[in-house]
Structure 1
Amino acid sequence: MRRTALPAVVLVLGALLGACDGETVSFADARALADGVTSAIDGKAAKFATDVTAGAMRSKSQGQARVARAGTALAMTTDFLGEPLELRLVDKVVFAKVPESAREDVPSGKPWVKVSKNGTVGADPFSQVLGGSIDQLAKQNDPGRALDQVRRAGTLTESGHAELDGGSTEHYRLDVDMAALGGDLPAGLSAEALGELNGKLGKIPMEIWLDEAHRPVRITLDLAPVLAASGVPDAAMARIVTRYTEWDTRADIQAPPPEEIGEIPAG
């Protein structure tokens, strides 16, 4: 009896230990998380869809991104100014396809303009809002940038496993210290805007879900602290949710041809 029972006990204990090991996560701190995921997605491409909520405002974007340590390239379409806006991020430069309603403000009617992160000074509504807003809008979909912010300013607060869209994932919760990011701020925030909050904004919660290959399938940034620091009622919800799919996607993303790029004159 003992000879047959002992192997059975060993098997049961082994199964229990295996189950416990299976619940452990791959990364113990924010830096290890950022480094591990960056390595997992370097040189790979995925499709993405982003939902931005800020009180009553809703915005949706979709596209594809090719991630590389030297800089992510992405092509996307977003609902902006009441009509679809096409953006490309190539070699750290953002290009915007000018809506038909504003095309007459571009010399020779060229369809694309290069976006400056410092803002574009023009008299028309399109050029007034180009600048940092669209630059941030494009770059907030870059998982490499989000991971760099985690690496520099993130603190891991909780980790575990979770079912997401029918699949098993590793789930990480973090706090991102705004002061530690300097001028490279998420959610379209500028250093000037952060300064106007007079230090009221400390940390922003972030969540990251990873697949079995340590690739992000969802990244969520909670912007409620921004609204609260700005005096918006607590009931207002604000967050950015980006979903990544098909990490085996092939993405050939190029800058627009030079002959199609115009400049909006300063007003």
Structure 2
Amino acid sequence: MRKTALPAVVLALGALLGACDGETVSFADARALADGTTSAIDGKAAKFATDVTAGAMRSKSQGQARVARAGTALTMTTDFLGEPLELRLIDKVVFAKVPESAREDVPGGKPWVKVSADGADPFSQVAGGSIDQLAKQNDPGRALDQIRRAGTLVESGHAELDGVSAEHYRLDLDVAALGGDLPAGLSAEAVGELGGKLGKLPMELWLDGAHQPLRVVLDLAPVLAASGVPDSAQARITTRYTDWGTQAEIQAPPPDQIGEIPAG
């Protein structure tokens, strides 16, 4: 009995280990990953929380996003500029709720303004690019589009994330292939000034069993390294998504609440 029992146990363990080693993920390349995940979340809403770290600096945001192929709508609050700031992204337009201390600069003291990276008004010129990126970087649809156009799948597997079984993907984003749609507030001019030193940005993506994002991490350390910051410096954007399928009423501010700051 002893002579036959040991080989049987070894075979059984080998079968179990083989099943774990051979466990496959749903997507074999970056494009399939982006397309499959986009289909899984189209028309759905989720809550999100984002941490942005750069060395000792840290910023937090939270809100809700409703994803659609035509464009994501989201509402969020962030601690940008040292005090809470409310933003809404509707039909690719970013609205910012002006802090009460600055409403005297808005005709009629209206609480909302449109913000754009290339706006001529003083508010947009000072913070328009940063605010535009703050809103859009929380859009999972945009991240998936960047993966589709510029991503290369480096590694994939299974992992437990906050007690949930997840598929884990590691990717590289080719900065040159992103064109003008650069993440994390980067501009084409800034990338150009780095003289080609910035090649790829690492990204990680975790999906639940329905192929919905649970977490997206964009590693910005290569940006710091290309800028001459010591290798030990860390910078990343981490966005966590929860409650996929939640109800989210996300609308633009009422027209009579939107002011227009005169161009400076």
TM over 0.5: yes
SS at match of 2:84: strand
In structure 2, the partner of 1:27 is 27
In structure 2, the partner of 1:252 is 249
In structure 1, the partner of 2:55 is 55
In structure 1, the partner of 2:162 is 165
Whether the 8 Å CA contact 2:116–2:124 is kept in 1: the answer is no
In structure 1, the partner of 2:43 is 43
Whether the 8 Å CA contact 1:120–1:130 is kept in 2: the answer is no
Q: Quote the Cα distance in structure 1 between the aligned partners of 2:221 and 2:16.
A: 41
Q: Quote the Cα distance in structure 2 between the aligned partners of 1:142 and 1:247.
A: 14
* Cα distance, 1:223–1:17 mapped onto 2, change above 3 Å: closer
Whether the 8 Å CA contact 1:204–1:222 is kept in 2: the answer is yes
Whether the 8 Å CA contact 2:118–2:125 is kept in 1: the answer is no
* Equivalent in 215, 230, 234 of residue 218 of structure 1: 215
Count of aligned residue pairs for this structure pair: 257
* Cα distance, 1:60–1:88 mapped onto 2, change above 3 Å: same
Q: Quote the Cα distance in structure 2 between the aligned partners of 1:142 and 1:129.
A: 23
In structure 2, the partner of 1:71 is 71
Shift of 1:39: 0.4
In structure 2, the partner of 1:102 is 102
* Cα distance, 1:176–1:209 mapped onto 2, change above 3 Å: same
Give percent identity, aligned residues only: 86
Q: Quote the Cα distance in structure 1 between the aligned partners of 2:177 and 2:219.
A: 17
Describe how 1:175-254 pairs up with structure 2 within 5 A: 175-254=172-251
- Give the letter for the 1:57 counterpart: M
Q: Quote the Cα distance in structure 1 between the aligned partners of 2:129 and 2:253.
A: 20
In structure 1, the partner of 2:4 is none
Structure 2: which 5+ residue stretches go unaligned? 1-7
In structure 2, the partner of 1:85 is 85
SS at match of 2:78: strand
Q: TM-score, normalised by structure 2?
A: 0.92
Q: Quote the Cα distance in structure 2 between the aligned partners of 1:84 and 1:19.
A: 50
Q: TM-score, normalised by structure 1?
A: 0.91
* Cα distance, 1:195–1:121 mapped onto 2, change above 3 Å: farther
